[in-house]
Amino acid sequence: MAFEVIKRLTSKSGVIIFGLGLILFSQCSNDRGKASEEEVPTRVVIVPPFNSDSAYQFVKQQVDFGPRIPNTSAHEETKSFLLKKLKGFGASVSTQDFTATSFDGRNLQLSNIIASYGPEKKKRILLAAHWDTRPYADKDKENPKGKMDGANDGASGVGVLLEVARQLKKDTTIAVGVDIIFFDGEDWGEPETAQGQRQPSGEWDSWWCFGSQYWSKNKHKSNYSAYYGILLDMVGAKGSQFFREGASLEYAPRIVSKVWDTAARLGYSDYFVKQNAHAITDDHIYINEWGKIPMIDIVHYKQGIGYFGEYHHSQKDNMDLIAREPLEAVGNTLLNVIYYEE
């Protein structure tokens, strides 16, 4: 998860019936004056159930590989795992392999992973999360140079989207196309003690969010666009709450309302809180600014602390933190948003 203060860029499931039903309305008639009936076709939307147990296992499987730090075997093993899963879930899958130099001078081998459903459909929804792990737990009070699992910070969003992908497998009833992108290199930004000391050069605007920066300038398909996008970041912690993030409200207020209203309809208002919070730098900024796609960020916010929580960038970010309930709230909301889109 990227840092909290935003800077400006330099450049409960199952079958749901949704329909207009049988509408009766009177119409004056010059010669008979009788009421007439008009039948409007009913649209039936069948939303598949989001399986929180499955999503939880997807989070755990990522964590079991070890910290998914770029240039490590765990990173490569996780990449292979994600590609295999997405292909097995019937998606058209591709990768973007690229390099970036970190703030501390390391040459990072990175890869964005893209999965598409209904590639022939013109109207598209973009879902995203980052799949890499921060290279050190620099906020950990006991071991700031140690590794962190990144169970919530990265793996939770990916776990939810893998379960969404599993539900989309071979489903031709959806009116829109869906693209899922797992961004790499989101979390190797400079620590708070070093922020502003060095500036990235060349094509990069920030040491954070390399994957979304790269994709926004080098889309996987020429002239690709989407109706809107939804980014997930840290969506699996016990007691999670998702406030309406400031940049999301600025760039895509209608999509914020759509998602939070859907969550409320499904009974998830304790998770999706209709209160506004300040903006943060995250992958959605580059999708909005450079990619020209209105994207919102669903990200954990804790009252009294702000974004992220006390586990952020610490060794507390492990499977003990993860709960099935917030995974379900986010995943079921996403599925309903997608299936109700026309």
Cα distance between residue 131 and residue 155, in whole Å: 6
Contact 232, 202 (CB under 8 A): no
Of 88-92, 170-174, 251-255, the range with the lowest mean pLDDT is: 170-174
Beta strand pairing call for 228-233 and 124-130: parallel
pLDDT at position 3 over 90: no
Output the DSSP codes for 312-341: TTSTT-SGGGB-HHHHHHHHHHHHHHHHH-
Amino acid at 337: V
73 Cβ contact list (under 8 Å, min separation 6) = 66
Contact 59, 68 (CB under 8 A): no
Residue % of the chain over a pLDDT of 70:
86
pLDDT band at residue 2 under the 50/70/90 scheme:
low
Q: Residue 188: its pLDDT value, please?
A: 95
CA proximity to 116, closest of 258, 220, 218, 227: 220
Q: Residue 9: its pLDDT value, please?
A: 53
Mean pLDDT of 123-134: 98
Q: Residue 16: its pLDDT value, please?
A: 39
Output the DSSP codes for 13-73: -EEEE----EEEE----SSS---EEEEPPPPEEEEPPP-HHHHHHHHHHHHHT----TTSH
pLDDT digits (tens, 9 = 90+) for 270-295: 999 999 999 999 999 999 999 999 99
Cα distance between residue 113 and residue 98, in whole Å: 12
Cα distance between residue 229 and residue 32, in whole Å: 52
Cα distance between residue 38 and residue 21, in whole Å: 10
Mean pLDDT of 74-94: 98
Contact 241, 235 (CB under 8 A): no
pLDDT at position 27 over 80: no
Cα distance between residue 90 and residue 85, in whole Å: 9
pLDDT at position 23 over 50: no
Cα distance between residue 220 and residue 237, in whole Å: 32
pLDDT at position 22 over 70: no
Q: Residue 38: its pLDDT value, please?
A: 56
pLDDT digits (tens, 9 = 90+) for 178-196: 999 999 999 999 987 766 6
Residue % of the chain over a pLDDT of 90:
80
Quick one: DSSP state of residue 190?
Answer: P
pLDDT at position 21 over 80: no
Cα distance between residue 69 and residue 147, in whole Å: 9
Residues in the chain: 342
Cα distance between residue 94 and residue 111, in whole Å: 10
Q: Residue 35: its pLDDT value, please?
A: 42
Mean pLDDT of 136-144: 94
pLDDT digits (tens, 9 = 90+) for 222-275: 999 999 999 999 999 999 999 999 999 999 999 999 999 999 999 999 999 999
pLDDT band at residue 39 under the 50/70/90 scheme:
low
pTM of full prediction above 0.85: yes
The CATH superfamily label for domain 50-340 reads Zn peptidases (3.40.630.10)
Mean pLDDT of 31-51: 68
Q: Residue 214: its pLDDT value, please?
A: 98
Q: Residue 40: its pLDDT value, please?
A: 56
- Which of the two residues, 303 and 87, has the higher pLDDT score? 87
